[in-house]
Amino acid sequence: MTDKNIIEARVNVLDIIDEMKRILDKGIFHIETFNTLVDCIILISEKIHFINININMLDTTANKMLEIVEIISKPNTNFFYNEISTRYKELIEIFENLYREIESKLIIKILIFDSRNVSSYISNLFNRNVKIVAHIKGDRCNKAKLYIKEKAFDLILIINNNSKKINEEFSMMGVPKDKIFDFFQYVRIYIDEYNNYHNENYYHAMLSTRMKKIKKRNHFQGVLSGLSYALRGFVEKESKKNTLKLAFPSQDLFYDYKIMKELLESGVEVEHWLMGLAYYSFDWDLSLTKQESNRIESIYYPIFNDSHNLQIGEKYPIYKGIDNVLNKINPLFTTLFKEDAFNCYIEDVLGVDLTPDFNEDLWESGTYLNTNISKIKESDRYKLGKERAEFHNKLFYPATTIENKKIFKDMLELLKKYQVKPVLIVFPTTPYYYHHVSNDTKKRFYNIIDEFSVQYDFQMIDMFKSEQFNMDDFVDWDHLNKKGAYKMTSILNEVINW
């Protein structure tokens, strides 16, 4: 039995006693919650036996609970309601003493060894109450000798660039390795794993980390969803309003709605929801597009557990992404610290943006063209632009349109419920593309938009044939490059009714 096992057991007891306190603080007896209290006291007794510490009030609390159990076990329990109520009030008073005793005897005592003067910030990242024995600044281990001699701590938390050397010094001073928690070492591991994660599955990483970010901050003036036109056509830092981009290649209305629903129903406050649309958006179903199915398998299904119309086997492995990093870190981290502790420290203290805008290299490439657009001959441009447009012209599936109209209605209803202003945006394309987009495609799109405009209030911005853009603003026939995205963002700053 190691010190680490003991600390984990103590934290478990502290978590259980907190759960009991939440129940008893309500002050009302219910048989279901009382059964939970009984289960909790049994678990605490087992953990206390494992820890091998004496908790004086534990038996007293358990005995009072047994008195209530005996009354409940009698026939016609309703006749004994007043007696149960009296005993329950007595239990609440006894429990307060048990709670204080457990807190005082089991609370985790931490010695922070800090060369970065961020101890006060780190203190806010703990998952529960801990007792900070001392903040020792600098990198001289001999300052901790008195605490080591008196065994006045459970863990040493190291926040120091030179943590390896400090670890060695503490070991020479007789501090067991499992009592040393090298926070900075785990930060380095986390950053390496984070980078590996983004390299391995970039779009899953981008979506999942950004959704966590918006839930943490809880308020954005704008959110931009949609497909690649929105992803490549908007620069976050240039927006005059605090706007987060949640648009991805080939993302359809179904997953736009999934993202929107997840965030708004979790309590995130959004003022404007910008929807990046294409004329073919109501004809587009990602899950029915064979060549795009890998996006659902690698991005959306692991996050939403919903593959829409795509059939995925029951044993399909769920991609966990950055959460896998916790398997490589001392389990005490997840016990003691908040889930987003690494993210907070890395962004707030180290100044690293863990959710940057679209990758710079991909912004200037990474599309269906295999060469730079400027190197393509004029005669070939019309041919290739026409091929691209005709591919989209063929997207006419009445059943898909009917389903997408329902999804769109659900989106507008959801935005209305949460008092979010919808802004519909069609992004610019080149003449090589827009001259070949069929009038039927555009007409179907606007028939639907006009139909919904009767019932719902939204702003429609159509830049499809905008003359404010030239070929230097595009990476291919229908996507903006970074330069064009700056221009588009500047325009949206002015035309959106913020």
DSSP state of 45: H
- In Å, how far are 237, 461, 484 from 60, measured between CA atoms? 60, 70, 72
Position 337 scores a pLDDT of 83
Q: What is the pLDDT of residues 83-94, one digit of tens each?
A: 888 899 999 999
pLDDT band at 75 (very low <50, low <70, confident <90, very high): confident
Q: What is the mean pLDDT of residues 470-484?
A: 93
pLDDT digits (tens, 9 = 90+) for 223-266: 999 999 999 999 999 999 999 999 999 999 999 999 999 999 99
pLDDT band of residue 412 (cuts 50, 70, 90) is: very high
Statement: residue 493 has pLDDT above 60: yes
Q: Which residue has the higher pLDDT, 201 or 75?
A: 201
Residue 320 has pLDDT above 70, yes or no: no
Asked if pLDDT for residue 128 goes beyond 90, the answer is no
Q: What is the CA radius of gyration of the chain?
A: 29
Q: Rounded CA gap, 341 and 343, in Å?
A: 6
CB burial string 24-59: b at 16+ within 10 A, e below: beeeebeeeebeebeebbeebbebbeebeeebebbe
Indicate the pairing of strand 421-426 with strand 459-462.
Answer: parallel
Whether the Cβ atoms of residue 352 and residue 191 lie closer than 8 Å to each other: yes
Tell me, what's the pLDDT at 317? Answer: 56
> Which of 307-311, 343-347, 471-475, 485-489 is least confident?
343-347
Provide the pLDDT for residue 366.
66
pLDDT band for 321, please (50, 70, 90 cuts).
low
In the predicted structure, residue 118 carries a pLDDT above the cut 80: no
Residue type (1 letter), 60: T
Q: Is the pLDDT of residue 326 over 70?
A: no
User: In the structure, what pLDDT confidence band is assigned to residue 346 with cuts at 50, 70 and 90?
Assistant: confident
Range ranked top by mean pLDDT from 188-202, 203-217, 388-402: 388-402
**Residue 228: both structure tokens together:** 């690649």
pLDDT in tens, 424-452: 999 999 999 999 999 999 999 999 999 99
Which two tokens mark 100?
Answer: 């204080």
Q: Residue 391 to residues 26, 233, 384, 401: CA-CA distances in angstroms?
A: 62, 21, 11, 17
